[in-house]
Structure 1
Amino acid sequence: MARKSTKKANPKTFNIALVGQAGRLGYEAVLFVASLRAKSPGFKGRVLIAEPQPSALWSRDPRMSRDVEDALDAMGAEIIAFTNQHFGEAYPYGNKIEMLTALPKGEPFVFFDSDTLVTGDLAAVPFDFDSPSASLRREGTWPQIELYGPGYTEIWKSLYDRFDLDFETSLDLSEPDEYWKRYLYFNAGFFFGACPHAFGERFLHYALSIRDDPPAPLVCQSLDPWLDQVALPLVIHCFGGGRDSAVHDHLDGDVTCHYRMFPLLYARESQAVIDTLEEVTAPNKIKKVLKGYEPIKRMVFQGRGAKVRALFDQNDMPRREQAIRNRIKSNGFWMR
């Protein structure tokens, strides 16, 4: 097990950033902010909802609906506009890269995917913004090793070499060679740093270089949808961060939950997460807005979530997410 960082946590107030846009992400942003206000009333930073603007990179207007924007405003969140220059509809995960330079320069930030619930005191999490990190709630989704093709070491080392980064210091030597956990790999569901502009510029540079001119060992590897998660470890490593962060005792734990989809939330998350979801969606002013999103309407307000929950023994859950999905789908309860 890798050691936790012993660096002193940065005491500064920090900003929270999410992407909000038309459809699912906007409704999830409302739910995130509602849970933040309910479970972390001591948080004093700004809550910034980055919204992509209409451009040639979107076939439809990506802006949130007025009722969603009004709900966010009523809870004290600020909507920050940004315009895509490189990704857009073809790769919406790129929003979390391009939005960073729209945030206040030089102010510590924590980015969360919108499909996250706050379940505890976020203000008490010991962030060290000078040593960035990201979510370790992930599976070995990338790279996918091909028979007779390059292995993990060759693939990852080619990326570190591309950007003149020290590959050896990124490795978790407690894990065996050619096992995916040995290599620095994150879920991009949350990440944090000292300055969103510095972080975002590096993130964009790495992502575009990998997308437009991938190193030869990546020839058989898919970068869609994995591009952000391929570039993110390199960004974190270049700023002196890594997997060894005290935040991992709290985020994706007792303080936040990256549920990703509502059927998965009801299937596998703790009862405390479900209780939080149902508590913060209960007020009429929130319920009225969230009823506009079918998965929340059916799962939370019409009881389908409880039916999903009943399909699983929480003490004997399938080990792979795909098995959970398959069981939900076979019973006709899948929604996204």
Structure 2
Amino acid sequence: MARKSAAKQSFNVVVVGQQGRLAYEALLFVASLRAMSPDFTGRILIAEPQPGPRWSKDPSIRNQAVRDALTEMGAEIIPFHTQHFGETYPYGNKIEMLQALPKGEPFVFFDTDTLITGDLAAVPFDFDRPSASLRREGTWPQPQLYGPGYTGLWKSLYDKFGLDFESSLDQSQPDEYWRRYLYFNAGYFFYKCPHEFGARFLDYALAIRNAPPVELCAQSFDPWLDQVALPLVIHSLGGGRDTLPDGLLDGAVSCHYRLLPLLYARESDHAVAVLDHIAMPNKIKKVLKTYDPIKRMIYQGRGAKARALFDRENLPRKEQAIRNRLKSNGYWMR
């Protein structure tokens, strides 16, 4: 007798959408989720910042065709107000929007510049043990010649919030190597309650920004503040770097491409095929073609030409080198 498959979890998916590039990326994200994960039954939420004193221009999605396309695919646009960050630090949107989500309901946040490339509904999230993206480089901190090293810099933050530092370390990595220390890309993260996660994320981020430990006096928090606070939040809530099986998110199930030229340059043939597939229906094509970078990269073939510049089996080690090659050949768009 065949065993029954485990019941699929119910959870909400959220991205931040606002006027401009993020609105079109949100449209691609939702289209990919619907195409590649037809069994997903949770809510798809587009968190939309509202105009206010922290924005010089209205950040909400003012393109009605984009709004209509999102809602026709079953996404819900959820407004939120920006009280602490806004235009000066737009990455703060992913912190402040969490309080607008349904309290007590498990959620997965994704950056809008992500494609769903597999069955998201089948990912075995442990919502009691939060985690985030490990697809990152050692961007923060940057130890100074005569200052503390990685250990001293990170430990000062764990001490500030009364957290156990030693248990956060990856003991398989050498001392003073950045991978030893808990560090994530904020391209996705998840937990059982957005309000609990969001309150702690906001508390930690504001405390680091407004009163950093003296050890961090030479460190920059722009644009890294969210990624500095995120591991502390995850560690404090009982999560870590190993709560998801390898190879699913940032692997078979999702692709955080960052910008379309980078997608064409370095991502898998499957990711490009998913992009081509979801962009072809006339209903969505008509909306996407109104955004020039998408029009040129997808519909006018510039993406395929940019892809031909790179060997995916032998990519430059640093992302900046990929960007530079794209720019020098006229394929950089954002």
TM-score band, normalised by shorter chain: over 0.9
For 1:90 and 1:174, how far apart are their aligned partners in 2?
38
Are the counterparts in 1 of residues 17 and 46 from structure 2 also a CA contact under 8 Å? yes
Q: Superposition RMSD on alpha carbons, in Å?
A: 1.1
Equivalent of 1:54 in 31, 51, 55: 51
Q: Deviations over 1:100-120 (max 9, x none)?
A: 010000000000000000000
For 1:155 and 1:10, how far apart are their aligned partners in 2?
43
Are the counterparts in 2 of residues 116 and 260 from structure 1 also a CA contact under 8 Å? yes
Structure 2 letter corresponding to 1:17: V
Tell me the number of residue pairs that the alignment of Structure 1 and Structure 2 aligns. 328
Partner of 2:297: 299
Partner of 2:22: 25
Structure 2 letter corresponding to 1:24: R
For 1:30 and 1:258, how far apart are their aligned partners in 2?
15
Are the counterparts in 1 of residues 8 and 122 from structure 2 also a CA contact under 8 Å? no
For 1:227 and 1:186, how far apart are their aligned partners in 2?
12
Structure 2 letter corresponding to 1:303: G
Are the counterparts in 1 of residues 16 and 94 from structure 2 also a CA contact under 8 Å? yes
Partner of 2:94: 96
Equivalent of 2:324 in 313, 323, 326: 326
Equivalent of 2:179 in 171, 181, 187: 181
For 1:52 and 1:154, how far apart are their aligned partners in 2?
37
Structure 2 letter corresponding to 1:314: R
Partner of 2:42: 45
Partner of 1:15: 12
Asked if 1:75 is matched to 2:73, the reply is: yes
SS of aligned partner of 2:15: strand
Partner of 1:126: 124
Q: Deviations over 1:29-63 (max 9, x none)?
A: 00000000000000000000000001010000111
Structure 1 letter corresponding to 2:100: A
For 1:308 and 1:209, how far apart are their aligned partners in 2?
43
TM-score of the two chains, using structure 2 as the length reference:
0.97
Are the counterparts in 1 of residues 297 and 303 from structure 2 also a CA contact under 8 Å? yes
Asked if 1:36 is matched to 2:33, the reply is: yes
Partner of 1:313: 311
Partner of 1:249: 247
Are the counterparts in 2 of residues 16 and 47 from structure 1 also a CA contact under 8 Å? yes
Structure 1 letter corresponding to 2:21: R
Structure 2 unaligned spans of 5+: 1-5
For 1:138 and 1:161, how far apart are their aligned partners in 2?
24
For 1:149 and 1:285, how far apart are their aligned partners in 2?
56
How far residue 246 of structure 1 moved from its aligned partner, in angstroms, is 2.3
For 1:27 and 1:221, how far apart are their aligned partners in 2?
34
Distance 1:220 1:20, change over 3 A: same
How far residue 248 of structure 1 moved from its aligned partner, in angstroms, is 3.5
Structure 1 unaligned spans of 5+: 1-8
For 1:138 and 1:193, how far apart are their aligned partners in 2?
20
Partner of 1:273: 271
Alignment of 1:198-237 (within 5 A): 198-237=196-235
How far residue 16 of structure 1 moved from its aligned partner, in angstroms, is 0.2
Are the counterparts in 2 of residues 10 and 129 from structure 1 also a CA contact under 8 Å? no
For 1:329 and 1:72, how far apart are their aligned partners in 2?
32
Distance 1:43 1:162, change over 3 A: same
For 1:86 and 1:226, how far apart are their aligned partners in 2?
16
Q: Deviations over 1:114-155 (max 9, x none)?
A: 000000000000100000000000000000111111110011
Are the counterparts in 1 of residues 8 and 121 from structure 2 also a CA contact under 8 Å? no
Q: Deviations over 1:81-103 (max 9, x none)?
A: 00000000010000000000100
TM-score of the two chains, using structure 1 as the length reference:
0.96
Structure 2 letter corresponding to 1:320: K
Partner of 2:236: 238
Are the counterparts in 2 of residues 263 and 299 from structure 1 also a CA contact under 8 Å? yes
Runs of 4+ with deviation above 4 angstroms? none
For 1:54 and 1:274, how far apart are their aligned partners in 2?
35
How far residue 11 of structure 1 moved from its aligned partner, in angstroms, is 5.7
**Greater mean deviation of Cα atoms: 104-113 or 237-246:** 237-246
